[in-house]
Amino acid sequence: MGDVLFTEEENRFREEVRKFAEKEILPIAADIEKKDGYALIRKCFKKLGERGYLGVLHPKDVGGSAKGVSYEIIVGEEIAAVSGSLDLCRLASSCLYGMPLNRFGSKEQRQKYLAPVIKGEKIGAIGITEPDVGSDTAGMKTKARKEGDHYILDGEKRFITNGSQADYLCIFAITNTKVHPHQGMSTFIVEKGMPGFTAVKDYELMGLDGARVSHLKFENVKVPKENLLGAESFGFPILMDELDSERTAIAGQLIGGARTALDIAVKYSTERVQFDQTISRFEGVNFKIADMAMKIEAARLLALEAARMLDKGLPATKEATIAKLFASETAVDVSYQALQVLGGIGYTKEYPMEMFARNARLATIGGGTAEICRFLIQREVYKEFKDKQKKAKKLD
């Protein structure tokens, strides 16, 4: 598929990233998953920055390459194919944090708070989710009030990838309580070490052990007015703008982990002998392989469609959400079916299959649950239907 739907330049880029991942990341992938593995992630960030893999989404004036989302899904797939934890942290920094800065930051903000992230010298994070707020961002309780040349930030955020490790954070808060939260939400750049900002804890996760997903607290944090991103009360448009690129990027990432799970299952099925033949000869096994391969190819196509649309500046909420949902359910299904092919040995730590299965389970929760994705997709479908009806009436 790559030779047909990706350009020659994109295919060369994929091969370059794949070789880098196999040489620089694969040998330390198991160590990244250990308790002190984040130190290795920081080292990997610098290497990723040096190679330009943190800047494909970003303009050249801040050190990026401006290659676009089509290249981002390639980076995500290839890095996640060897280390899901590393790519989750990379995605949270360069995309989830980086895109709001890219699209809405001032020249000064982008040079100070985005350029070092693209180089891999600093790490970013985005703070939306709260203890009582998930998909319903209108319930956001974090507040910021203006006092002189500062905003005073109070509240909590949780499940924040890179939260305790990030040097810079893009934090959403309500600045106007007299209007609907979506009209009174603003976005701030918060620096690690600002008085009153604390990382309460890092969560112990079911999978992705190398990542740091944190509970953060803000108590009377003084944020300079220069750190307001965009304009006051413009936070919700910033949040919505970020989500389409995020979900497309997540789809690319999930394809990488699923691809490796399939590769392990294929190889094992050609080596494991039962009843005097390799298990690859049994339809109970090889039909699973067929289904896994089919779903991965379809997921890659959906991610590419959304990426192409975003790169052309087209609205892609439906396409990005479809790509994310399908890739997430594919990642879960493929990892579990691949584990089934391995049988008992797959459930042990002799193979990394159990890790891929645990890692994949986050897919239908983070970045928009499967349920909220389905809600968004049907909403977009009905919008399109109503728009067609209106156009038809005008023609009549």
Establish whether 22 is a catalytic residue. no
Q: Residue 84 has which token pair?
A: 């899901």
Element (H, E) at 214: strand 213-224
Residue of 80, 24, 89 lying closest to 50 (CA atoms): 24
Cα–Cα dist 133/139, whole Å: 6
**Which of these is catalytic: 246, 319, 329, 354?**
246
Cα–Cα dist 362/377, whole Å: 20
> What residue type is assigned to position 373 of the chain?
C
Cα–Cα dist 210/215, whole Å: 16
Cα–Cα dist 16/70, whole Å: 15
Instruction: Answer whether 131's CB lies under 8 Å from 158's CB.
Output: yes
Q: Residue 47 has which token pair?
A: 């290497």
CA dist list (Å): 44 to 37, 80, 204, 371: 11, 13, 22, 34
Cα–Cα dist 341/29, whole Å: 23
Q: Which residues are catalytic?
A: 246
